[in-house]
Amino acid sequence: MSDYNIIGKRMPRVDSRAKVMGKVRYSADIKLHGMLVGKIKRSPYAHARILSIDTSKAENLPGVKAVVTGKDTEGVKWGVFGYTRDQQFIQTDKARYIGDEVAGVAAVDEDTALKALDLIQVEYEQLPAVFEPMDAMASDSELIHEDFPNNINIHVNIDTGEVDENFKKAHYIREDTFTAPEESYFQAEPYAVVARFDEDECLEVWCPNGGPHMKSKPLSNSFKLPLHKVKIKKIAIGGAFGGRSEICPADYICALLAKKTSAPVKIIFTREENTIATRQGHAMITTHKTGVDKEGRVLARDTTCYMDGGAYSSTGPIATTVPFLSMEQAYRMESVRYNGYRVYTNKPIRGMIRVHGRGFACGLDTQLDMIAEHLGIDPVEMRLRNSRQPGEYTNTKSLVSSCAMDETIHKAVEKSGFKEKWGKLPPFHGIGIGTNSVQTGFPMGIRGGSQSFIKFNEDGEATVMTGVVDNGQGNDNMVVQIAAQELGLLPEDIHLVSADTETTSSDPGSYSQVSTFVGGQAVKNAASNCKKKLFDVAAKVLKVEPDTLKAENRLIFVKDDPEKSIPIKKVVRISLLNFNSVNAEGGYWPKVDMKREWVSNPYGQMCEAFSFGTTIVEVKVDPDTGEVEVLEVTASQDVGKALNPLVLEGQFEGSIAMGGQGGMLTEYHEWHEGRCVNPTMLDYKLPLACDMPKINNIIVESIEPKGPYGAKEAGMSIAMSAAQGYSAAVSNAIGVHMDSFPLTPDKILTAIKNKKQQDTAK
């Protein structure tokens, strides 16, 4: 029997009603007095030197209030780390992709702003451009960034030793290469930013963001302002998926226009801009070489991955490493070597994404299936023989304290009927399994921890202040549930102030899957400290010891004598009458190895918890058209503790839509000389509700000892294992192990045709 009356219970999210009624405000909805319309001038060339910019005609256009170029900036460059700061917010020397920012305007209306953009005259000298990572590395033409030889932005090398020796011991070795193009986040909410300088010359910004403190610091640096004068304000966010975690040039340009005009400015991206001028997932070419013993256990693995990073570094070191981490966390390997290369190209910038590399993850699981087939082992047993176990260390020396990987496999197999169906389905019907893991956070220095403040109001309700961000995944609800449970209140008694740099303390944001684990724990600690103050007062009134009390349903009562109670509201008023306000703070900093670094030292404790997921997919393929019909998906994830199963099921289903249904069947970009030719929803095929299959959600609880109530990351492992499961199912249906993703009809038809020719030739 659970000790919790709120935690672990299915409840609608606290923001649901406002969202379905259209009452929630997003950045694009903001209207401020005297607000101007901002627009950005972008490069039409993939690679070109900027010789001159003439803004005089635009400045003289009636209704134009300001024009800004690179000469108006402080010259500060952006990059997540000091060694990757390579992007100016407005380019001064050259443009490096079609869409690169070269100027900005602010005008009284949109038509005027657009006319002004056309009047800005930019003289370019076109330069040779490269659009594929292998070409970029071999190019002897002008480098995209002069300080990076061979256009290699980041090289991550991880080597645990004895890889070559273990290959010699292996019973069977395979080496295969897998590819996948870039993909987009395609948030339903196009990017929009509003900026103004208030009466105290403080910069206020409203924009979609994965962490307000991750935005305020670079803006502080770029404007040479004290940090307290940059205020990132709370606003509703229509999805992030890893794509809104860092500063966007539009944030800076909007703020620069606001400074120059002394008026509020709003920039709203078109759908095309939202594709090319934010971030995209990386295209990848991945080669896995794996050696196993006779039982299929991995003795050695050597992986090389080339990633198309686009024009600038962005989150390059992290994005280059995380696919490897997801692999090493999910599977045991006696030895492993990894070389990850993030390569500059003259294409839009790539960053972190919910599915950490389709080509990498699906290639790994495809190869496991190929090895299993050779050894006569079924895919489930192959994974169980290599799956991560609790109490083990990963190859890069992270202790895995809680892990229910095996349980997620067993439960998914049972629910899906995998063993009854494997090898017994009709022609062109298939079933496949994928497994994966995600870290719950990683070392983030001074921004790695979270702090929360809680104060009681005289009516017995409480206000919670936290830096936790809700990108649409339910973090606001998570915070409210934790506070209500710990304080003994109901969710409707909690008033939330969140994600505002002026009023809330530092927090990692939702950027590294730590919102529940770190931010939620900070709220729990603050609530626990606040409850202690309540109990001290209530104990005197009830004439008992504080440790005999419990808080629930707005009451504080004696655990062994529930009739002996007092309303929390009364306790608060008694405290106030004695000139003591009831408030408290609490924080949480995860125990990680602060010496661990993405490139220079990729070893040590990465985080305190890891999630593990399994997805099994059943499909039917039309051999005449190559179309895939997904019949059923079973998703199972170890979430530590399910704080709200209803919310988690929604996250599972969203992960399947992004990682599987869209990510593995329909989503990819097409290019012509660096120009994206399918930047809108008309041509970039996102799955709709009507496209989604039947989904079985299975929540597995391992109770992570360091997480709030045992919780840890929930949902991300499903996104990746869904991609793997979809790939495996289609391969099983057509009898061909696919090596190019996504699995579009043309690729499937080609594979079927080639197999038929090979079978005929035998």
- State which fold the 31-127+189-238+244-276 domain adopts: Aldehyde Oxidoreductase; domain 3 (3.90.1170)
Question: For the chain, how far is it from start to end, CA to CA, in angstroms?
Answer: 63
581 forms beta bridges with none
Strands (DSSP E) found in 393-523: 429-439, 450-456, 462-466, 494-498
DSSP letters along 6-32, please? STT-----TTHHHHHTT----GGG---
pLDDT tens digit sequence for 335-358? 999 999 999 999 999 999 988 888
Q: Identify the pLDDT of residue 446.
A: 86
CB 320 within 8 A of CB 342: yes
Dist CA 417 CA 414 (whole Å): 5
Residues with Cβ within 8 Å of 214's Cβ and at least 6 positions away in sequence, in order, are: 245, 246, 247, 447, 509, 511
Q: Which pLDDT does position 100 carry in this prediction?
A: 98
**Range with lowest mean pLDDT among 107-116, 182-191, 491-500:** 182-191
Helix (H, G, I), strand (E, B) or coil at 442: coil
Indicate if the pLDDT at residue 240 is higher than 90. no
Confidence of residue 715 (pLDDT cuts 50, 70, 90): confident
Average pLDDT, the chain: 96
Query: Is the per-residue pLDDT at 560 higher than 50?
Result: yes
Q: What is the pLDDT of residue 292?
A: 98
Which residues are registered as beta bridge partners of 104? Answer: 40, 68
Contacts of 133 (CB under 8 A, 6+ apart): 283, 285, 306, 307, 308, 309, 341, 343, 345
Asked whether residue 58 carries a pLDDT value surpassing 90, the answer given is yes
pLDDT per residue as tens digits for the range 353-363 = 988 888 899 99
Q: Which two tokens stand for residue 539?
A: 């104990």
Model confidence at 599: pLDDT above 60: yes
Q: Options 3.30.499.10, 3.90.1200.10, 3.90.950.10, 3.30.365.10; which CATH number does 350-365+376-440+605-761 get?
A: 3.30.365.10
CATH of the domain spanning 16-23+444-588: 3.30.365.10
Percentage of residues in the chain having pLDDT higher than 70: 100
Hey, do 16-23+444-588 and 350-365+376-440+605-761 end up sharing a CATH topology, with the first three levels equal?
A: yes
Least Cα distance to 148 among 218, 85, 81 occurs for: 85
* Residue 246 structure tokens: 């860092």
pLDDT band at 120, cuts 50/70/90? very high
Integer Cα distance of 587 and 585 in angstroms: 7
Phi first, then psi: give them for residue 112, nearest 5 degrees: -65, -40
pLDDT recorded at residue 1: 47
Average pLDDT over residues 320-325: 96
Provide mean pLDDT across the span 202-227.
Answer: 95
Contacts of 3 (CB under 8 A, 6+ apart): none
Handedness of CA 536, 542, 548, 552 (dihedral sign): negative
Tens digits of residue pLDDT in 486-541: 999 999 999 999 999 999 998 998 878 899 999 999 999 999 999 999 999 999 99
* Domain edges within the chain: 16-23+444-588, 31-127+189-238+244-276, 350-365+376-440+605-761
